[in-house]
Amino acid sequence: PGARQTVAESQAAAPPAPRKNADRSRLRIAVGPLAAGRRPRVALARRCCRRAVVRAAFLTRGSVSDPQRGYHVEIVCRRREDARLVQRAAAGLGIRMLLTWRRKRPLLYAKDVQSVTSLLVHAGATHAALALQTQRVVRETKNAIRRTVNSETANAVRAATAAARQRAAARRVLALGRGARLTPALREAAALRLAHPSRTLAELGALARPSVSKAAMAGRMRLLERLAKR
């Protein structure tokens, strides 16, 4: 009895099996049938089982595209039932995968960066997931800089075009001898535009005496343009 009690106590005090070994066991259960085209005997009620199915499907039949060309991951299955199983397992992990057909075979794919990254993490490809996130950050930063530069360039072109048009209108009005009939505010606006062809409307408004807002100076320039067209 003493020996039996010692063995029982040692078994009760023994630490549980490492989780890593359990994950490997579930992975072997899922990889074998998926590689052979059979449905794995794994329940999807537990998160570890869903992760094992997704990882096995990606390792045996999955591929991911170069992040330089875009975000795309796909898993080719042999039967619709297999694809539905993997799709449910992925959905249980928060990964949205769509089902389509290619060469009469079901194919699961994901194109958004969040789903691709999450699938790589659950498949154990953490380095690839980090590289993908780094590439995404670099691409988004470049796109933001490009949009800002394009916007500022377009604004500068529009401002320069408007300034040239306003300057030509001021010259025409003064050349036709209509300057005497202009109000003091319009004469001042014409003189400021001719003296400062590259200044913005806000800067011209600040130079006016008394100073006026950008909207007021824009109204005066529009009136000069209408007078020049008569």
From residue 68, how far is each of 74, 110, 131, 132, 147 by CA, in Å?
17, 16, 11, 9, 19
Task: Provide the 3-class DSSP secondary structure of residue 215.
Answer: helix
At 62, which helix (H) or strand (E)?
A: strand 62-64
Tell me the chain's radius of gyration from C-alpha atoms: 36
Residue ranges, the chain, pLDDT below 70: 1-43, 178-180
- Unique residue bearing structure tokens 């359990």: 22
Whole-number pLDDT of residue 14: 46
pLDDT digits (tens, 9 = 90+) for 180-212: 678 889 889 999 999 999 899 999 999 999 999
Please state the pTM of the whole predicted model.
0.51
Whole-number pLDDT of residue 39: 57
Considering only CA atoms, which of 82, 64, 89 is closest in space to residue 97? 89
